[in-house]
Structure formats: structure tokens, C-alpha cells
Amino acid sequence: MLSLIKSLWLVFLHLFRKRFTIQYPEEKAYLAPRYRGRIILSRDPDGGERCVACYLCAAACPVECIALDATEDENGRRYPDFFRINFSRCIYCGYCEEACPTYAIQLVPDFEMAEYNRQNMVYEKEDLLIDGEGKYHGYNYYKVAGIAIGGKDKGEGENESSPIDPKDLMP
Amino acid sequence: MATITIDGQSYEADPSANLLQAALTLGFDLPYFCWHPALGSVGACRQCAVRQYRDEEDTTGQIVMACMVPVADGLRCSIVEPEAAEFRAEVIEWLMSNHPHDCPVCDEGGECHLQDMTVMTGHCKRRFRFPKRTFRNQYLGPFINHEMNRCIQCYRCVRFYGDYAGGSDLVAMAAHNHVYFGRHEEGILENEFSGNLVEICPTGVFTDKTLKHHYSRKWDMVSSPSVCSHCAVGCNTIASTRYGSVRRILNRYHHDINGYFLCDRGRFGYTFTDAADRLRRPLLHPDRERDVETVAEPAEAMKRIREIFSEATGVAGIGSPRASLESNYALRNLVGSGRFSSGLPRIEHDATTALLEAMRNAPDGPGSLRDAERADAVLILGEDPNNTAPRLALALRQSVRNEPIRADAGSRIPRWHDRAIRDFVQDRKGPLFIAWPASTRLDDLAAGTHRAAPDEIARLGFAVAHAIDPQSPAVTDLDDSASDLASRIARALKEADRPMVVSGTALRSPAIIAAAAATVHALRRTGSGGSSFLAVAPEANTIGDAMLEGAPLETLEQQLESGEVDTLVILENDIYRRLPAPATDRIISKARRIIALDSIATATTNRADVVLPAGSFAESDGTFVNHEGRAQRFFQPLPPAGDVLEAWRWIGRIAAETGTSKQNEWDRLDRVLTALARDCPELAPARDAAPDAAFRANGQRFPRAPRRFSGRTSILSHLSVHEPKPPEDSDSPLSFTMEGHSGQPPAALVSHYWSPGWNSSQALNKFQSEVAGPARGGDPGARLIPGNGPNERPSTAIPAPVPDDDQTLLAVPCYEVFGSDELSARAPAVAERIPKPYVALAPTDAEHHGLDSGDSLNLLIGELRVSAPVRLDPKLPPGLCGIPAGMPGWSVPHLPARASVVT
Ligand code: SF4
Ligand code: SF4
Ligand code: SF4
Ligand code: SF4
Ligand code: FES
């Protein structure tokens, strides 16, 4: 009898506590920036596509829902010809983001991906590529890589000396 | 065997090996860079350090390079000893100090020996803070991409390219940490083995440019064991695909054939499978004379074929030396052996038959490339290996070192001690003699050459046989220089331990082949036990096709003329390449109906009533019989897409449709092979070239896809989000997915080389019974021609001397590694390397006709007019002209023949 009253009292006290339930969807929940939701492809500070089509995210994906194919522009810059994520399979584990050497692929705080038709869960590059740098600012992979691309010749990367002359024998 | 101790455990090891080799054979993971099983050791990279102890008492020992330590009884060493391990990690750290941050965009990534070794030594953090050295890259042609920043200065590339393959345009330049590997000047790498740099270079400096254009990672490619379809050597390959297209060809080790290397034709010729002129749908030509074609459904095409068959008075089949054994046999079975043609014109047919005869009569059966590599005296009669059997030329290039090494039996330098051996041999070369009308790219090695007309080459061969064994008939009226050369050759062959005669059908001369056989038999009779005969044939299945004993094309023409036959089924054969166009036109127009099966659109398929799309090597399972009579199975890396089917399956369906066989009787590879074995006992072992479709390991198939294959729930999700059932394979024990047996398959079923910690192709070490030895469980393929044939003397019709003729030239076929092969010539990268049409002429003849290099020469050969610019070949004897065979859009079949110069 006493315990019953005690329980009722406790429930009653909750009336005066701060409310956790929010009026979703009118009201949005706060999601931390590192929240693992919908996946995007970002751009480098110069506006170029960050993804270099290295296939590492696809290899890291435990449900194998990422498929892409590499291609190159006329100056040797590699990028994905197509880039597809089947979100109906994605488990939002974030392994792709962890594997990505260029910060191109990022999970963002958005989980609102419900669809009536499963086919609509298949995202192509047009659907994934955003116009900004996403969570990671300032990084430009091609600036630290050794290959030359349009606008960056050999020796112009970060921490590189200018190309040597192979016909020179000086010490 | 010697007993050695590694880390306190004793093992048995081969005393002719070095410690690194022995350790790898025993399964240890010891890092290395500069050592290569085929190139030997130079001790340059300092990566394979271990600690060696003098004896049991010695606890200090010293750090040594395992690749430079000969295995000896009682050898004691430690791999795990901390200082040695740290030494190896530091070597990597130095190498990495200038290494670019390239892995994500490096085509080597995921199969990089440098990555593997870095992980193996444990180096993971960059401490070097200074600027990185950089290099500019060079354009090296359509095959190889250059990215010099990634070089670790192991010198493997120049050792392979220069020392092993004889190339002179790839060198090491500059000094200290600036050493640069490239050409003196930007340009196409000339050597036809340049593609091996892709696998030789442990980093991403030299990568496959054809792969780069449609790049995919090793872990993503669905691969299958394949056999090169571009010449009769039959090098074993791994064909890798992604998203339904072939992405690259890699070497698949075969101890007796290609070993570690392929030629560029074989490595880069694959893109013909994706060329625009590939046939993928059945076609109907309502009117053969006019260029109208309609795409048809398979059922519609089959209906048309049934009509054609029911109207036909007689159906004949034209087989092909580039179609598989199964397809040729299925065709022969469909039309009956009396109406089956090998698909070769008489001139080639007779030479091929003579070659097959010589192979069957060869004392130990035809020789292999490994035999060629080990031969210590070689006579090449009427072949130009660099262009007709490229990989053979690489083997012969190694053979000239054997005699100088053997001659100095006192030297105890082990064969793996590469630098020492090369310094010891210097420029000395063993005997290699070449008889070929024009210059060849082996001439720099030759102890003697004989440049003459085909009949003169045969006469030289017979003279050699006579000089070896006087019982062989003598050659009359031989000029002095030729008879001198013959006795020099005879002496060299007799003195050798393993003499070899190389001959084949290049000059379409049965006499040359008979002369080569006579020489081998003369050697045998005089007691040269190790002598061998190496047969060279032009196309992937020339020998298999010949073993089915079809008739030459001319016989078919007679059958058409007599009205006995009015319908042709043409299998993967462009007969416009085989006979002069007027003769082909006659055959085509005499045939009332033509059904053609091919993977590519050709002049012949354009004139067929019905065209069925056959699979290339990438969409077919089948067997090729190579130049040594070895049946080798190739498996499709791709599940057949669209209407493409193996030619043998199409023919089986035709047979079922027209009522000559039961439904589905021919719808399995194994059924075709069983029928073949029943009908042709000589070909029966072909069934054992690879395990049959029911073969399993622990009840499991063998995966074509690597275990890390990615994207399987998204590759097709744009078409439908519901994943389809993976394709099934009824013809082989391979699966198209990554599911299946995780251990090593038998060598005939190896789809990729991978082993934990070894992602690069160097994982191959783990697939061999010993490093550089045969594959575990034996090398694949089945020899069909065992030798020990009747040891009678072959027929000896010695040709008469070639008479002088001022009026005409003798046009002989010559060959181009890039161009003479029909399929690879359609690959864009190879097409870039095809020379422009030319006619090779001796300078004196050119002068006689008032022509200079580059001038246009008009020739009348039979009923064919040929016009091409003159190329002067000072080595060509007067009276001869060389015309490249089988060049795309410019083929002059039916040579040798007399040609008159017209103006
Ligand atoms: S890991 Fe990053 S750079 Fe590599 S393919 Fe994926 S998104 Fe592109
Ligand atoms: S060579 Fe190897 S380690 Fe170097 S960038 Fe390429 S993949 Fe990476
Ligand atoms: S280019 Fe490759 S093979 Fe040549 S030295 Fe450099 S790393 Fe070695
Ligand atoms: S073309 Fe001939 S030599 Fe070259 S890889 Fe193919 S089979 Fe070997
Ligand atoms: S592999 Fe032994 S020193 Fe290079």
C-alpha cells in the first residue's frame, strides 16, 4: 500500500520535470555534428570534387552499398564517374568516412530519409555531392599528393622541392 | 637438401637457393625489394636483412642480406631478432622519406609491394619533416604510365628491361637521391616486353595505362584464369573485370611456359573485347550484296537458321585457329568431318600439317619455353620469334647465357647471384643461329645469321643435319658461306648439352620444318640426348585446329563448285585474311547461304546471311592447344551478357534446332569435352586440362571475386533495388561471387594471387611448391603430344636452289608483334603501335627499280595488286621483298609468292 503511493508520488513529481519529448516534426531534435546520418560527398576549398575515386569507402563498407567507377579529366585529376549509395542497405556505421583519405565522404546529422518506395533510397552522385566542405574545412588532398593535376605542377605541392633534372650529376 | 636453422627451428632447404628464397619457400614473411625470382639477387635495397650466426655458440652474429647468403648446411639465422627487424623498419622509413602521399590515386594501391612491406616491417609514422624530392614524368607510349615520384630506387626495372629483355631505352640517370628511371628522351618504350614493368616495379612508378583509363582496384575485380588468345605460345593470364568489362590482363605463372612474364601484345591486346565493332546481338542480312542489316532476337535468328538448313543441299563448316577446341569440334560434329575445313588456305594448311607431324615425331615431344630458356645452343629456322611468338624471344634471350656459364665449370657462382654472373659472363654469348629472310630483334645475340629465301633456309637446315650426321642426305650446290655456316651450326649443336631447333609455319614452308626435324633427329642419332624441337605456330589454337584434321579452304571451294555443298557455317574466321580477296569473293558468292559466328565484325561476317555473336575469351570457357601441344583451359571472367554465347554453345543450339542432336546435348562444356574425347582419342587428355564443373573443395566452388569485393548491394541498385540472384556457372567449378572455398585452388583455377599480408602479385610465392618452382599441385594444362613417336627419319625432299630471277621479286611474309595478330590489333593501345603499311626491300633492289625509302612500290602478286611505301632493310637479300602479314585493313595473304613490280 505504501509502495503504491510512493510510486504514484514519483510519477506525480515528473509533471514538474523538464520535458524530453519534443514535438517532432514541427520541432527538430538537436543532433551533434558527428551524428552519423545521411551521407554526402563534399568539395575541397577550391570547389573541386574531393572524392578521388580511390574505392576505399566501398571496400570498408560492411554492407557493400557503395559503388563507384573512377575516371580522369584531361589533366590527370581522378574523380568518380558515377558514385552510388544504396541507402536502403546502409547501416550508417561511418566506416566509409573513416576510410576516406580525402574527407570527401561524410555522414551528416540528418536521418530523415523515409521513402514509400525503396528504389528512391538509391542515391547517385548528383544526390550526394554538396557545394561545400562539410564538417572538415581546409583540406585539399591534391595539394599534399605528389601527382600533378591541372593547376598544380610537380613540385608545387605542399612541402615539395622543385623537380630535379635527371641529366644533372652534381652532388 | 641442406639443413638450416631459422629462429631456432631446423628446416630443410635447397642448397642452390639463397636464404631469402629458402625463407619464402618455407613460408616466412621476409620483406624484400630488389630480389626477383627471375632476375636473381643484387643485394641493393638492404630490405631483406636477417641476423646470421656462425655456429651454436655465436650469440652476437651479424646482420646480413638474406638474398646474398647461399643456403648451406648448418646455416643459422634469425628473422625476428629485434635489431634485424629494426634495421628492416628503418630501411623502409628511409625509402618513405621522399615518398609521395599518393596511395589513394596510385594505381598500385591495394596491390602494392611497397605498401605490403611497409606494413610488414611496422613502419607507420612519418618523422621526416623536410621537403620531398620530386621528379617530372615522361610519356612512355600507350602501354605504360610513369609516375617517378614513387620510385624507391630498387633498380628492378632497368635490370628487367635492359639485362633481361634486352631493351636499351630505359636507363637509370642522375645520382644520389636523384636517381631517375626513364628514357633519355620522352617517347614510346620500344621493347615489346615493357608491360612487365607493371609487375616488376614494386611501386606505382610504372603502371598499366590501359587499366588507368578504366581504373578499378584489385580487390574489386572479378577475375578468372585465362589463356592469352594472341599467339600460339598460350601464356597463362588472369583476366580481370569490373562492371561487365575487362579491365586488365595480368600474368598467371606457368612454370613451363610464361613464368613471370607476358609480352605487350598479350597484356594490352585485351581491349578488343570492348571495341565498338564487337558483335553483341544476332544480325540478319536480308541481302548479302547490299549493306543492310537488322538486329534480330536469338529465336528469330535460330528460326532463320532452321530454314537455311532445311533448304540446304549440303552444309560445310569452316573452323578457325583462333576459335577454341570445343567450338571447332562442335562445328566438325555439326557438319561431319568430310565437310569440315580447318579454315586455312592450302599454303598454310600444308605447313601446319607438316609442323604437327614434326611435333608428333619429335623425340620427346615438342619443347616448351622453359626448355628454350635452358637450351645452350639454338638454331632458329625460318621464324622471327619477337614477332611470331614474342614470349619465346624472351626465353631465347636468356638461353645465350647458358653456354658461357657452363663453359666455365670451375666458377662456383650460384645462378641467383645476378650481378656476379653478369660480370662473369660479360658480353660472351652462347651459340644462337638465326635463319630468316630479314633482320630480327634477336640479331644482336646471334652467333650467325642466314638471310635467304625460304627454300634456301630449308637447304641450310638440311645441310646442318648432314653435317651432324652424314647419314642424313647431303645438300648439293650449297654456296660456300652457307656450308661454312652449316658446319659451324652443326658443331655448336653437337657440343651442346641441350641443343634446340626452333621452327614453325611463319614462312609456310613444309621443307623448313622437315629440315628442322631432320636436324633434331640427326642430333638424337649422334647421341645428343637433350636435343629438342620447338614448334612455333601463329594463332592461339592453330595446333588444336590442325589436330581436328579439317581440309584446306580450297577443298571447300571445290565442294561448293561441285554443288555438293551450298551452305557455309563460318566459325570465328575472317577468310578475307586468309585468301586473296578475289578468291574469297568467289567462295562467298558460290555459297547460297552463310551463317557466321564471331565475336568481332569482320569482312566475312558482313557478308553472312545470319551472324551470331560469339563470346571472346572474356565471355567463353574453352580450350586452346598451344605450340607445344598443351591443352589449356580458359574460363570466362564475365557472365555472358546480352545475346553473347560461346561459339560451341551456339553450334550446340543449332544442332538441336536443326535436329542433328538432342536438346541440351551440347549445353555444357563437359559434355562437349566428353564427346570430343570419345571421337578423337588423341585429344582426350584435353578434358584433364582443368578440373570439371563438378569439382569442389569441401563442397564449395572457387570464387572469382576477391574476398573484399565491394558494392554488391549497389552495383545494380540503380536498375532495381532488389538484388538479383548471382549468375550461375554450369561449365566450371568457379563462382561469380566471393563466396566459396577460401584456400588455394588447383593451379588451373587460380583467379588471383593473394595471401594474408601479400596483396601484390608477389603473393605468387605462396602459390608455388618452391619459389620459382612449379605451381603447388602441379602446373595446369595437359600435354597432348607426348613424343617418343616413331623415331624414323622424317621425309627428306630437299628443295632445289632458288634460281636467280631478275624479273620478279619473291614476296615473303614478315610479321609485326603489333599488327599481325587479328584480335589485339583491334585494341586501341596496340593499334597505336602498329606500323604503317610497308614493303621491305633490299637497297640494291630498290636502287634497281629507282626507288628510295618511303617511295610507293606497286606489286602484282597473282591476281592481287599491292601498293605500299618502301622500307629499306639492308639485311634483306636481293630478290626478296617482305610484306607484313595480317595487318588490319591491309592483309596480303597467300605468301610466299612471286611478285612483279608494276608502275
Ligand atoms: S574513400 Fe573518399 S576519396 Fe575514396 S572513393 Fe570513397 S569518397 Fe572517394
Ligand atoms: S607506390 Fe604503393 S605506397 Fe607508393 S603511393 Fe603507390 S600504392 Fe602507395
Ligand atoms: S621505377 Fe620501380 S622498379 Fe624501377 S627502381 Fe624505381 S621502384 Fe624500382
Ligand atoms: S601474344 Fe603470345 S607470347 Fe604474347 S602473351 Fe600472348 S601467348 Fe604469350
Ligand atoms: S632483396 Fe635482399 S637486398 Fe634487396
Of B173, B182, B721, the CB nearest to A118: B721
- Check residue B794 and give its pLDDT: 58
Rounded to a whole number of angstroms, the distance from the CA of B100 to the nearest CA of chain A is 5
For residue B746, count other CB atoms closer than 10 A to its CB. 18
For residue range B266-318, list pLDDT tens digits in order.
999 999 999 888 999 999 988 777 777 888 899 999 999 999 999 999 999 99
Chain B partners within 8 Å of A160 (Cβ): 131-132, 134
Residue from A49, A54, A170 to probe the interface with B (highest B Cβ count within 10 Å): A54
Give the whole-angstrom CA distance, residue B740 versus residue B438: 53
Of B182, B242, B721, the CB nearest to A166: B182
Query: Which residues in chain B are contacts of A143 at CB distance < 8 A?
Result: none
Residue B790: pLDDT over 60: no
B34-80 pLDDT tens trace: 999 999 999 999 999 999 999 889 999 999 999 999 999 999 999 99
Average pLDDT over residues B783-796: 70
CA B152 to centroid of ligand 1, rounded, Å: 26
Who among A53, A69, A167 is closest to B243 (CB)? A69
Instruction: Report the distance separating Cα B302 and Cα B621, nearest Å.
Output: 22
SS3 of residue A83 by DSSP: strand
What residues form DSSP beta bridges with B118?
none
Q: How many CB pairs under 8 A join A and B?
A: 145
pLDDT above 70 covers a percentage of chain B that reads 99
- Say whether pLDDT at B527 is over 90: no
Distance CA B699, CA B299 (A): 37
If we measure between CA atoms, which residue out of B889, B897, B895 comes closest to residue B822? B889
pLDDT value for A9: 93
Q: What is the mean pLDDT of residues A23-52?
A: 93
Confidence of residue B19 (pLDDT cuts 50, 70, 90): very high
Alpha-carbon distance B556 to B568, whole Å? 9
Q: Alpha carbon of B230 to those of B390, B538, B572, B837: distances in Å?
A: 10, 9, 14, 21
Q: How far apart are CA B895 and CA B656, in angstroms?
A: 40
- The answer to whether A58 contacts B713, with C-beta atoms less than 8 Å apart, is no
What's the pLDDT band for B654 if we cut at 50, 70, 90?
very high
Q: What is the DSSP string of B834-886?
A: PPPP-EEE-HHHHHHTT--TT-EEEEEETTEEEEEEEEE-TTSPTTEEEEETT
Strand partners, B632: B624
Amino acid occupying residue B826: R
- Over residues B634-653, mean pLDDT: 92
Are B790 and B361 within 8 A, CB to CB? yes
Quick check: B409 pLDDT over 80?
A: no
Contact between chains at A167 and B174 (C-beta distance less than 8 A):
yes
pLDDT tens for each residue of B325-340: 999 999 999 999 999 9
Ligand minimally distant from the alpha carbon of residue B49 = 5
What gap in Å lies between CA A124 and CA A133, rounded to an integer?
Answer: 19
- In a 13 Å sphere around the CA of B654, the CA atoms on its Cβ side amount to 31
Give dist(CA A64, CA B159) in Å, integer.
42
Q: Does the CB atom of residue A39 touch ligand 1 within 6 A? A: no
CB contact under 8 A, B175 and A169: yes
Closest Cα in chain A, distance from residue B707 (Å): 10
Cα–Cα dist A128/A112, whole Å: 15
Q: How many CA atoms lie within 13 A of A168 on its CB side?
A: 8
Q: What is the pLDDT of residue B795?
A: 65
Answer yes or no: are the C-beta atoms of B686 and B551 closer than 8 Å: no
Q: Which domains does chain A have, with CATH numbers?
A: 28-136 (3.30.70.3270)
Confidence at B715, pLDDT banded by 50, 70, 90:
very high
Distances in Å between the Cα of B808 and the Cα atoms of B25, B444, B790 are: 61, 31, 42
Stretch B838-849: mean pLDDT: 92
Report how far ligand 1's centroid is from the alpha carbon of B757 (Å).
23
Chain segment B770-780, per-residue pLDDT in tens: 999 999 999 99
For residue B115, which ligand has an atom nearest its CA? 2
pLDDT digits (tens, 9 = 90+) for B91-150: 999 999 999 999 999 999 999 999 999 999 999 889 999 999 999 999 999 999 999 999
pLDDT at residue B292, as a whole number:
77
User: Domains plus CATH for chain B?
Assistant: 2-96 (3.10.20.740), 103-116+128-274 (no CATH), 283-338+563-738 (3.40.50.740), 349-532 (3.40.228.10), 808-902 (2.40.40.20)
Other Cβ atoms within 10 Å of B509 Cβ, number: 26
Q: How does residue B18 score in pLDDT terms, banded at 50, 70 and 90?
A: very high
Give me the pLDDT at residue B788, please.
Answer: 65
Please state the rounded mean pLDDT for residues B854-868: 90
Q: Which residue of A has its CA nearest to B149?
A: A146
- Asked if A53 and B215 come within 8 Å (Cβ–Cβ), the reply is yes
At residue B286, the pLDDT reads 81
Is B105 close to A145, i.e. CB distance below 8 A? Answer: yes
Cell readout for B866 is: 599491292
Calculate the average pLDDT of chain B. 93
The pLDDT of B474-498, averaged and rounded, is 93
> By C-alpha distance, which of B162, B36, B224, B76 is closest to B634?
B224
DSSP state of B160: I
Residue B590 has pLDDT above 80, yes or no: yes
User: Is the peptide bond preceding residue B828 cis, with omega within 30 degrees of 0?
Assistant: no
Exposure of A30 by Cβ count < 10 A (0-12 exposed, 13-18 middle, 19+ buried)?
exposed
- The label of the residue with cell 636483412 reads B49
Position of cell 578468372? B224
Tell me, what's the pLDDT at B294? 87
pLDDT at B890: 81
CB contact under 8 A, B101 and A56: no
What confidence score (pLDDT) does residue B529 get?
72
Per CB-CB distance under 8 Å, the chain A contacts of B248 are: none
Is the pLDDT at B163 greater than 70? The verdict is yes
Prediction ipTM score: 0.92
pLDDT digits (tens, 9 = 90+) for A153-163: 999 999 999 99
Pick the residue of B96, B105, B127 with the most A CBs within 10 A to test the interface with A by mutation.
B105
